[in-house]
Amino acid sequence: MKPHRANFRFYEELNDFLVPEGRKKIIEYRFAGDPAIKDPIETIGVPHSEIDLILVNGESVGFDYRLKNEDRVAVYPMFESIDISRLQRLRPRPLRKTRFVVDVNLGKLARRLRMLGFDTVYDNCLGDREIVELSATERRIILTRDRRLLFRKAVTHGFWVRSDDPDTQLREVITRLDLGALARPLRRCLECNGRIERVDREQVWDSLEPLTRRFYSEFYRCSNCRKVYWEGSHVEHMTEVIRRLIGPPAE
């Protein structure tokens, strides 16, 4: 029998990681020695990258706090829009530039994020190791359906996407990370993530179909893959999608 015990309580979205019988209630954890508090939290099932605040007996602590017998532990998720600056945050502050790297199961979400103007790396050839490296070197938030990926030590910013539906996934990300005001729709290429820039029609004239030349006069081009865009009916459709998902788009 392990000689020590501590009580853990997880709040809000962190309950999604727990077995049903452990959700929204006190979990008794038995242990030996004095483990760093990060280890029992992840043993219970919650990845460190989803946590922003730990209170032990009412005091804010870091992941290196050594768990003691009879400790009362409260664990809270990311607070992107709430000021807890006087407490000890466990993750760096939200990244100065909101950029994402998305796992292979979230291709439709990646296109939607690009549609909203967010810098989003997606490639169905990327493995977990490459995703973690990109997140670390380019300071990107990992979006994944594989919760195991968020347990990796090198991950500092990550979010486990709960839903299977792409529209619901987008709402999850926008709401949880408080990104609605940062959306800049229709500024990134849906295919490659490059920036879309306005160009003179003479620069793209030779690549246009006759009807496109006849009915449109303003054109845009991806700075990366060189795909040409114009404001056809698809723009009206995307604008309606944006309005439905996050409200009226910014000009």
What per-residue string of b and e applies to 145-184 under the rule 16 or more CB within 10 Å gives b?
A: bbbebbbbeebbbbbbbeeeebeebbebbbebbebeeebe
Class (C level, CATH) for 4-77 = alpha beta
Domains 4-77 and 99-182 share a fold: no
Class of 99-182 in CATH: alpha beta
Q: What is the mean pLDDT of residues 195-222?
A: 87
Q: Where are the domains of the chain?
A: 4-77, 99-182, 196-243
Sign of the Cα torsion 163, 167, 170, 175 reads negative
- State pLDDT tens for residues 70-128: 999 999 997 644 455 555 555 555 555 789 999 999 999 999 999 999 999 999 999 99
pLDDT value, residue 233: 64
First-residue to last-residue Cα distance in the chain: 64
Q: Show the beta-strand stretches assigned E in 21-127.
A: 27-31, 51-56, 59-61, 72-77, 99-102, 119-122
Angle at CA of residue 230, ends 179 and 189, nearest 5°: 40
Other CB atoms within 10 A of residue 93 CB: 9
Residue 79 vs residue 29, higher pLDDT: 29
- Residue 113, both tokens: 């994020």
The pTM of the full predicted model, rounded to 2 decimals, is 0.77
Name beta bridge partners: 198: 220
